[in-house]
Amino acid sequence: MKAFMIRLMSGIVLLALIIGAGIAGEGVLFAFTFAISLVGYWEFARVFHLDKNKLGIAGMLFTAMYYFCIWHGQVSAELGMVVLLTFLMVLMAMYVFTFPKYRTEEVMAAFFGLFYVSVMLSFIYRTRLLEMDGVDGKLLFFLIFICSWGCDTCAYAVGMLLGRHKLAPVLSPKKSIEGAVGGVAGAVLLGYLYGRFALGYPGGCALICGVGAVVSQIGDLAASAIKRNHGIKDYGNLIPGHGGILDRFDSVIFTAPIIYAMAMAVMSR
């Protein structure tokens, strides 16, 4: 019971921080997104023991560089690609000129971490910048958390009540097909209600959250797979009752860019 209360209270505090950052303005949300990306990348780097060498430091520097570009104008596809390619060239230079100090797997992990954590989480902030057909990005960005965390909560509740068939028995024995379906249905309902009363796009928001909920569960399982492959329970202990940033934002990592892309597709005319 004590563990549950700790998890609940820390979850409420985290949600309050996100709501506050979203309402406070672009600068505050940018700082929040940048901070969780830095911490998240460092957590990921520790899984591959990159926190003790220069590959991890390089990843942190390029995370800062990527966010610097975002802050001074939303990153275009071309500029984002330049940052990623430059990081890859730097990593390969470190790899060949210090050979055999680093292993191929370490170089690949350092590069993957920048994209998987830093770039994908940046869509939390980038969604906040969207404004289409009178839809304020300040309201649109909340769809990311309504979708991902709403799906998590509904999937957990339905799974506890009705779960019979395992979704991924080897990877996550507690997750059920019934829970997964319930999570998607719950996210669709929440998206519809939010769209109806806040954005004026009930059908569009329901569709966006439905797709986002499916993807969020893949993100959750992907994070679990990485942890299982490397024999760790949590990525960190920053958030009491939840673990690290990546433990709490594992589904958001996948949901944020999907919400961004779906909003561009569904709400643009």
CA distances to 55, 56, 62 from 42, rounded to whole Å, are 11, 7, 12
List 136's β-bridge partners, or say none: 131
Which neighbouring-strand residues pair with 166? 176
Report the mean per-residue pLDDT for the chain.
Answer: 89
Give tens-digit pLDDT for 50-102: 987 899 999 999 999 999 888 887 667 678 888 999 999 999 999 999 999 99
Task: Name the more confident of 267 and 53.
Answer: 53
Q: Give the C-alpha separation, 142 to 138, whole Å.
A: 7
- Chain segment 99-126, per-residue pLDDT in tens: 999 999 999 999 999 999 999 999 999 9
Name which of 106, 107, 102 is nearest 91 in CA terms: 107
In this structure, the number of other CB atoms found within 10 A of the CB of residue 213 comes to 30
Contacts of 39 (CB under 8 A, 6+ apart): 236, 238, 244, 245
- Summarised one tens digit per residue, pLDDT across range 191-222 is 999 999 888 889 899 999 999 999 999 999 99
How long a stretch of residues is the chain? 269
- Angle of helix 142-162 versus helix 250-267 axis, rounded to 10: 120
Mean pLDDT for 169-198 is 91
Q: Enumerate the domain spans of the chain.
A: 2-267
The pLDDT of residue 241 is 72
Residue 30, Cα to own-chain centre: how many angstroms? 15
What percent of the chain is predicted at pLDDT more than 70?
95
User: Dihedral of the CA atoms 61, 62, 65, 67 (nearest 10)?
Assistant: -110
pLDDT digit string (tens) for 159-172?
888 878 888 888 88
| Main-chain dihedrals φ then ψ at residue 166, nearest 5 degrees | -70, 135
pLDDT for the residue numbered 8: 67
Give residue 2's pLDDT.
Answer: 65
pLDDT at 24 over 90: no
Tokens coding 199: 């954005």
**What band does 269 get if pLDDT is binned at 50, 70 and 90?**
low
Dist CA 123 CA 224 (whole Å): 22
